[in-house]
């Protein structure tokens, strides 16, 4: 028998901004839906370790999708006439479209980096329909990552995006895993990482939204890496301080991409966070 | 105050860079001269196809450089330490979070070579702790 992993990948049509979008969705496990959001300029492969973890899969139906323009998802018809710019409203609508199309009941939504940012908005808007959120490297306001050279005709955008984000990994994470994430980053389309960072560093400001999150209705767990310089521990601490009842853990020796840069190191923190939100 | 990291270190750094297998793979187009300034001490690194061809100490005005990195010695000490503190562990981290660490000159030239440049800068720590 071939040694297949338990992950199944399929293509799904979701309605978004009045147009059908063909997106790639992969999943494994059964139980509480756990919808996972990848980082800027990356794709759902970042969650491959979680989707191969028997202890997680025994309790959760882990679902990850490639956002339009990312990975194996196709941009909507007419993409060549629009500059790619992710916005808070568009990102939220996309997550909701995937959630509704798949018919997920009271999911846990987990996201990292810009995904860790938008899960705060997801919680603020839909807290009565969620089991909880897990924010990895969650910030409510994160200026400073956007720059014009990320999409420039004289620069290899894939190599720059990958190198620009490589140091977001902890220097203590296994090199092979850091390099794997580099490779994923090198594969994003022209301007896609920059368009995502437009959301993360320019459009996104969830500081007021945080105040509406009620952890009696929607449980909140936050995990941030000690070596994350994009969303620093201090930035997540200010998020946690604004959400009474939330649970924040700073992950020693970890960087900005815990689920892919060092899954063995991340796993104990993840299991505790999942226990917290799905208790 | 003694010079940091010093000429012997720079010679070892050049040797380390020039035998690096990865730069042999990714360095073909990395040909430029860039500066490294450690406090008051400035050097020009003449790079040819990902290898350091020459290190010029205290370069005068006839040494043209496309870009450079400049920081106080205490910042470099943290960057080069075996266990670098968060924010000092990567040059992109320092560019974002450590105001004293400065990219001078043509940032386009630096970012065109981001992959090989990043590798070359990361080899500094390995030079210090071989």
Task: Convert the pLDDT of each residue in A223-276 to its tens digit.
Answer: 999 999 999 999 999 999 999 999 999 999 999 999 999 999 999 999 999 999
Q: What is the ipTM metric for this complex?
A: 0.96
In chain A, residues with a C-beta closer than 8 Å to the C-beta of B81 are none
Helices A157-166 and B114-128: crossing angle, nearest 10°? 30
All structural domains of chain B with their residue ranges: 7-128
Q: Is the pLDDT of residue B1 over 80?
A: no
By the 10 Å C-beta count (0-12 exposed, 13-18 middle, 19+ buried), A235 is classed as middle
- Joined together, the tokens standing for residue A181 give 């994430």
What average pLDDT does this structure show over A165-177?
A: 98
pTM exceeding the 0.95 threshold for the entire prediction: yes
Closest CA to A112 of A261, A265, A264, A277: A261
pLDDT at A147: 95
Return the domain boundaries, chain A.
8-277
Inter-chain CB proximity A155 and B108 less than 8 Å: yes
Q: Are A26 and A10 in contact (CB under 8 A)?
A: yes
Q: Which residues of A touch B92 (CB under 8 A)?
A: 163-164, 166-167
Please give the interface size between A and B, counted as residue pairs whose CB atoms are below 8 Å apart. Answer: 56
The alpha-carbon gap from A243 to the nearest alpha carbon of chain B, in Å, equals: 26
Judge: B96–A171 Cβ closer than 8 Å, yes or no: no
Over residues A45-70, the mean pLDDT reads: 98
The CATH number of the domain covering residues in A8-277: 3.40.50.1820
Nearest-CB residue to A167 (from B90, B107, B108) = B90
Number of C-beta neighbours around residue A173 at 10 A? 24
Instruction: Report A:74-133 residues touching B (Cβ under 8 A).
Output: none
Which residues are within 8 A (CB) of A106 and not within 5 positions of it... i.e. 6 or more apart? A32, A33, A129, A130, A131
**Per CATH, which fold does B7-128 belong to?**
Nonspecific Lipid-transfer Protein; Chain A (3.30.1050)
* Distance of residue A208 Cα from the nearest chain B Cα, in angstroms: 25
State the nearest Cα–Cα gap between A125 and chain B, in angstroms: 32
The partner residues of B70 in beta bridges, in order of sequence, read B37, B102
At A209-219, the pLDDT tens digits run: 999 999 999 99
> What is the pLDDT confidence band of residue A1, given thresholds at 50, 70 and 90?
confident
């Amino acid at each position: 028998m071939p040694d297949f992993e338990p992950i199944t990948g399929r293509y799904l049509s979701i309605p978004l901004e009045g147009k059908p979008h063909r997106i790639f969705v992969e999943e494994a496990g059964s139980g509480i839906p756990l919808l996972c959001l990848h980082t800027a300029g990356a794709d759902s492969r970042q969650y491959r370790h979680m989707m191969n973890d028997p202890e997680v899969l025994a309790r959760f139906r882990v679902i990850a999708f490639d956002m339009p323009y990312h990975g194996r998802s196709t941009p909507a018809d007419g993409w060549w006439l629009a500059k790619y710019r992710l916005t808070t409203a568009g990102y939220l609508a996309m997550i909701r479209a995937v959630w509704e199309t798949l018919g997920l009941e009271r999911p846990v939504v987990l996201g990292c980096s810009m995904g860790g940012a938008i899960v705060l908005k997801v919680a603020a808007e839909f807290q009565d329909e969620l089991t909880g959120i897990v924010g990895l490297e969650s910030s409510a306001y994160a200026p400073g990552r956007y720059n014009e050279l990320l999409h420039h005709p004289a620069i290899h955008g894939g190599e720059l995006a990958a190198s620009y984000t490589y140091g977001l990994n902890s220097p203590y994470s296994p090199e092979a895993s850091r390099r794997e994430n580099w490779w994923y980053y090198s594969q994003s389309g022209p301007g896609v990482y920059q368009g995502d960072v437009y959301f993360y560093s320019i459009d996104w400001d969830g500081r007021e939204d945080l105040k509406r999150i009620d952890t009696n209705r929607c449980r909140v767990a936050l995990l941030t890496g000690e070596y994350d310089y994009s969303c620093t521990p201090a930035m997540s601490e200010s998020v946690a301080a604004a959400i009474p009842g939330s649970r924040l853990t700073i992950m020693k020796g970890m960087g900005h991409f815990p689920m892919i840069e060092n899954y063995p190191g991340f796993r104990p923190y993840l299991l505790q966070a999942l226990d917290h939100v799905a208790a | 105050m003694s010079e940091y990291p010093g000429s012997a270190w720079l010679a070892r750094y050049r040797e380390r860079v020039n035998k690096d297998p990865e730069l042999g793979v990714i360095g073909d187009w990395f040909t430029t001269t860039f500066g490294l300034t450690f406090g008051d001490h400035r050097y020009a690194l003449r790079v040819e196809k990902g290898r350091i061809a020459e290190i010029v100490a205290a370069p005068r005005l006839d040494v043209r450089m496309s870009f450079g990195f400049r920081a106080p010695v205490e910042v470099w000490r943290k960057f080069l330490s075996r266990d670098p503190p968060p924010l000092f562990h990567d040059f992109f981290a320092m560019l974002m979070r450590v105001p004293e660490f400065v990219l001078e000159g043509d940032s386009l030239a630096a970012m065109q070579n981001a992959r090989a440049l990043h590798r070359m800068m990361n080899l500094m720590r390995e030079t210090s702790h071989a």
